Amino acid sequence: MSATRPAAVVVLAAGGGTRMKSATPKVLHTLGGRSLIGHALVAARETEPDHVVVVVGHDRDRVVEHVSVEDPMAVIADQDDTPGTGRAVECGLAVLPEDLVGTVVVTMGDTPLLSGHALRDLTAGHVATGCAATVITATLDDPTGYGRILRDDGGAVVGNVEHKDATAGQLAITEVNSGIYAFDAATLRATLPRVGNDNSQAERYLTDVLAIIHKDGGRVGAHRLDDTWQTEGVNDRVQLARLGAEYNRRIVERWMRAGVTVIDPATTWLDADVTLGVDVTIHPNTQIHGASTIGSDVAIGPDTTLTDVEIGDGATVVRTQGTLAVVGAGATVGPFAYLRAGTTVGVHGKIGAFVETKNAQLGAGAKVPHLSYVGDAEIGAGSNIGAGTIFANYDGVDKHRTTVGEHAKTGANNTFVAPVTIGDGAVTGGGTVVRRDVSPGSLAVSTGPQRNIEGWVESRRPGSAAAMAAGRRNEAGRADKGGGADQADST
């Protein structure tokens, strides 16, 4: 066993999260596109422990289901009705081998900025100093709510007092307990049963273990983290937003250092799992969520929200909302485009202004430039869809597909009543309602021939502004024809 590898990491996630005032368990609230417990699990795994245990209780089924997706190898421990972080760890140890030796790291499910690196440092320091317990501490300007670290005159850690149980003098202490510890497994197992609940919350505090070990003559170490953000917990939504902003600031900064231009870091939000290529430019007010993958030389934004998308090299996505969509290399999207699930824009293709797409696959160079709805469709390479076209995919009962072949050119203001196929190289006239298949190379028109009724306005609406305007124009025309004009109109 390497010194920096704990035998187990126990993640506490059984608390009610009362201060969130939420129907969702606290540890399932998200930050940077990942749940709070998800962050804790990523950090835990980075220490390469033999076991990861998650202690659940409040809303346990929802938390367990989520944990099984985030980290299928994690072992679940149920906390019983006895409250407190001490009892939680006791329940966590109960699912681990009785003869477990080495280091047990305890972390909180609500401390999302804590890194695996900090946990490795904690473990290494704990083992190197031979302490029975080592606690990560931080010195905060505002220690409100946190447990305060108690030290003796020599500076040795002798215990912790919770904010609610602290005297005025103790409240002035600014060194706080992060709630993250490394313990010697056997010492922890022997000490926990001795933790009582004689405190303001009548809970069995894990923090009491520190004083018990100290009184027993064991050594308690403190591992101070200068990066205090890593020690901060989320107890309410104000803290969630505060830590979320800092987490985002860190991600955005990391991408800028990796070759991404971010015009306005303050209004750019990138989830933890987003990846970006070099020379990407992100314009203001842009959010990229989920497992989105952005190629190189891509310009995104302003005012764009993308979730779980894949954008190819050299593409441009302006003022767009997109989910579960793939945009080919060199394609352009927007402004004001709405790409819904199942959209694929081909290489060098185009989705223009005010276009909504859903379950639509466009071939290379295919274009839907203006004001259209494209639902349940396939559009072949090189085809161009006229402005204002509706792919009418829904008959009120079922959804149907429309297929447009390659190099077709459809007119403005068409309606394609699915299921229907427009063949390769076919053309449709303006205003066509396509109800029957159009064979390759055919021209489809469905509107009747235009009929003009001369003088209709002047005879039906005499005296109206329209009739007077028409009258003036017709008179001028007659004068021209009479040869009185200075300039002859050759057309």
Q: Does 359 bind ligand UD1 (CB under 6 A)?
A: no
CA torsion, ordered 36, 39, 45, 47, to nearest 10 deg:
-110
List 147, 295, 349, 365, residue binding ligand UD1 (CB under 6 A): 147
Rounded Cα distance between 468 and 104, Å, is 92
d(Cα 61, Cα 282) in Å, to the nearest integer?
A: 39
Contacts 24+ apart (CB under 8 A), 74-82: 74/11, 74/41, 75/51, 77/10, 77/53, 79/14, 79/55, 82/204
Residue of 103, 123, 137, 178 that binds ligand UD1 (CB under 6 A)? 178
Please tell me whether residue 233 binds Ca ion under the rule CB under 5 A.
Answer: yes
Establish if 183 lies at the interface with ligand UD1 (CB under 6 A).
Answer: no
Quick one: 123 or 160, whose CB is closer to ligand UD1? 160
160 binds, options Ca ion, ligand UD1, none, Cβ within 5 to 8 A by partner type: ligand UD1
Per-residue binding letters, 76-115, with Ca ion (x by CB under 5 A): ----------------------------------x-----
Query: Which span (104-112, 165-173, 283-291, 332-340) binds ligand UD1, by CB under 6 A?
Result: 104-112
Kindly give the interhelix angle for 116-129 and 36-46, rounded to the nearest 10 degrees: 50
Comparison of 143 and 233: residue with beta carbon closer to Ca ion: 233
- Judged by CB under 6 A, does residue 84 bind ligand UD1? yes
Q: Where are the beta strands (DSSP E) in 228-349?
A: 261-262, 268-270, 275-276, 281-282, 286-289, 293-294, 299-300, 304-307, 310-311, 316-317, 320-323, 325-327, 332-333, 337-339, 343-345
Check binding of 55 to ligand UD1 (CB under 6 A): yes
Q: Strands 30-31 and 34-35: what pairing?
A: antiparallel
CA distance 88 to 12: 7
22 makes contact, choosing from Ca ion, ligand UD1, none, with CB < 5 to 8 Å by partner type, with none
Q: How far apart are CA 187 and CA 104, in angstroms?
A: 10
The phi-psi region of residue 330 (left if phi > 0; otherwise alpha if psi is between -120 and 50; otherwise beta) is left
Q: Do 7 and 48 meet the contact criterion of CB atoms below 8 Å apart?
A: no
Number of residues counted as binding ligand UD1 (CB under 6 A):
28
Interface with ligand UD1, residue 248, by CB under 6 A: no
Q: Is 255 in the site for ligand UD1 (CB under 6 A)?
A: no
370 flagged as catalytic: yes
Surface-to-core class of residue 490, CB atoms within 10 Å of its CB (0-12 exposed, 13-18 middle, 19+ buried) = exposed
Nearest to 324 by CA among 306, 336, 304, 350: 306
Nearest in space to 135 (alpha carbons), one of 145, 144, 125: 125
**What x-and-dash track marks residues 203-222 binding ligand UD1 by CB under 6 A?**
--xxx---------------
Which position among 179, 244, 322, 346 is part of the footprint of ligand UD1 (CB under 6 A)?
Answer: 179
CB 376 within 8 A of CB 356: no
**Does 108 help bind ligand UD1 (rule: CB under 6 A)?**
yes
- Kindly indicate which of the ranges 43-51, 231-239, 296-304, 447-455 contains the residues binding Ca ion, using the contact rule CB under 5 A: 231-239
Q: Name the residue with the smallest CB distance to ligand UD1.
A: 147
- When CB distances to Ca ion are compared, the closest residue is 233
* Bridge partners for 15 per DSSP: none
Q: Taking CB within 5 to 8 Å according to partner kind, which of ligand UD1, Ca ion, none is near residue 428?
A: none
* Residue 362 beta carbon to Ca ion: minimum distance, rounded to whole angstroms: 49
To ligand UD1, the closest distance from the beta carbon of 78 in angstroms equals 11
User: Where in the sequence numbering do the catalytic residues fall?
Assistant: 370
Site of interaction with ligand UD1 (CB under 6 A): 12-15, 27, 55, 57, 79, 83-85, 88, 108-110, 146-147, 160, 162, 176-179, 205-207, 233, 235
Site of interaction with Ca ion (CB under 5 A): 110, 233, 235
